[in-house]
Amino acid sequence: MRDSGGMGANGTDILTAGMTNDVVPWVDDLIAVRDARDEGAFIRVFGHFGPRVKAFLMRTGMDAALAEECAQEVLVTVWNKAHLYDATRASPSTWIFTIARNKKIDVLRKQRRPEPEDLPWGPESEPDQEAVIGLQQESEKLGRALRDLPEKQRELIEKAYFGDLSHSEIADQTGLPLGTIKSRIRLALERLRHSMK
Amino acid sequence: MTVKHHLTDDLLMAYSAGDLPEAVNLIVATHISLCDECRAALGSYDAVGGAVLDTCTTVEMSKASLNTVLDMIHAQDTQVQDKPVSTRIKDDVLPAPLIDYVGGGLENVRWRSAGMGVKQAILPTSKDATARLLYIPAGTAIPDHGHSGLELTLVLKGAFQDEGGYFGRGDIEVASEDLNHTPVADISEDCICLAVTDAPLKFKGLVPRIAQPFLGI
């Protein structure tokens, strides 16, 4: 369920109700994996994110067999690095995206990826529930904003993240000069930013 | 000390998308280590990536897939702890990503003379872009050096001044090939920088080519 109607209207209701999957999908499950090594929760995370990670990796240029294998490894990493998941800093989708992206760099570019220092990305002693809810609500809002974009604009943003857009492909797909594509992406991002306000 | 010169949004987005050469990733990660503003901006670009992952189409995993994964986690069910070099070494000049590439602190850098008292050390990255540490004695000017593509310069110690402004620790200068600049190290102390240059047309992907700052999301 992604329905979050009225979700932001009364934050305290959400806080007292706890984080249900209705409000912040997958946070509970990921935290159960992190704190309780809950395999049932992991299987649910696998069921939701496995097919998405596989599709993402195929879009970045892997064939189905390689994408399948890498998606499995990404999910194993989710299990192994669950102790690094911090719900005040990333939604489950965002966190799993970064793992899938690093797998892509590792496999397709054969490079390691330098990461910024610190990331006390580990769980804090006193998890701030309000910060968790706030971040997850913003993530939901961003997801809705992305879905609400006109299709062409959404596709361009997706392609930027999949990295599957080359000069010639741009020309082939749209027949537009690069300058126009550039303005379109800027417009898409500005709309996205605007709808986040 | 506050950072005044930041990464461009196109670089942040391309770093988030995983679409940059290793040397460029290194300087982005190093700047972010010193700059909370860009760290936060990166978080928002990662969130766009998460939203893309969430809204994109799905491709069914094979039937055996779940069991394969469960077997894998059962076979090695200990939480994997990452222990890169940088978790053991602290350095006043080199942030963690650089400690990993130098293999230690500043005293471990293997400097080579580049003339005029300037020293450099090229770091081991993939060949599609080059990362080097530069040591510039106080008050020394680096003559305008031709570069055919993007040049990124991040100050780690001391400061330099050029046509683009005054750059202190944490500041990054993003120079394209049409910028004519003659950096001069500040007179007060020797300057250490991380400089990254890309060979022409080596960037892959759309975003870096666009090279126009997006407004932050």
Say what the pLDDT of residue A88 is.
75
> Which is nearest to A156 in space by CA: A126, A129, A181, A124?
A181
Q: Within a domain: residue B73?
A: no
B52, B65, B126 member nearest A50 (Cβ): B65
In whole angstroms, what is the distance from residue B74 CA to residue B214 CA?
45
| Confidence check on the interface: ipTM exceeds 0.90, yes or no | no
Is A98 within 8 Å of B29 (Cβ atoms)?
Answer: no
Q: What is the pLDDT of residues A3-52, one digit of tens each?
A: 433 333 333 333 333 444 445 678 889 999 998 999 999 999 999 999 99
Report CB contact under 8 Å: B43, A160. no
Residues of A in contact with B32 (CB under 8 A): 116
Report CB contact under 8 Å: B50, A55. no
Is residue B60 less than 8 Å (CB to CB) from chain A? yes
Q: Within a domain: residue B118?
A: yes
Higher pLDDT, A142 or B134: B134
β-strand pairing of B160-162 with B172-175: unpaired
Domain containing B133: what range?
9-57+82-210
Q: What is the pLDDT of residues B108-140, one digit of tens each?
A: 999 998 887 889 999 999 888 889 999 999 988
* Residues of chain B under the 70 pLDDT cut: 1, 77-88, 143-148, 177-180, 199-217
Residues of B in contact with A36 (CB under 8 A): none
Confidence of residue A164 (pLDDT cuts 50, 70, 90): low
Q: Within a domain: residue B204?
A: yes
Longest dimension (CA), chain A: 54
Interface test with B, best of A115, A159, A166 (most B CBs within 10 A): A115
Higher pLDDT, A164 or A49: A49
Residues of B in contact with A138 (CB under 8 A): 47
Q: Within a domain: residue B63?
A: no
Fold exhibited by the domain A11-115+125-148: Rna Polymerase Sigma Factor; Chain: A (1.10.1740)
Q: Within a domain: residue B66?
A: no
In whole angstroms, what is the distance from residue B165 CA to residue B179 CA?
13
Interface test with A, best of B26, B35, B54 (most A CBs within 10 A): B54
Residues of B in contact with A113 (CB under 8 A): 18, 22, 25, 29
Say what the pLDDT of residue A131 is.
72
Is A180 within 8 Å of A173 (Cβ atoms)?
Answer: no
User: Could you tell me the CATH number of the domain that includes residue B166?
Assistant: 2.60.120.10
A to B CB pairs, distance under 8 Å: 207
Q: Within a domain: residue B17?
A: yes
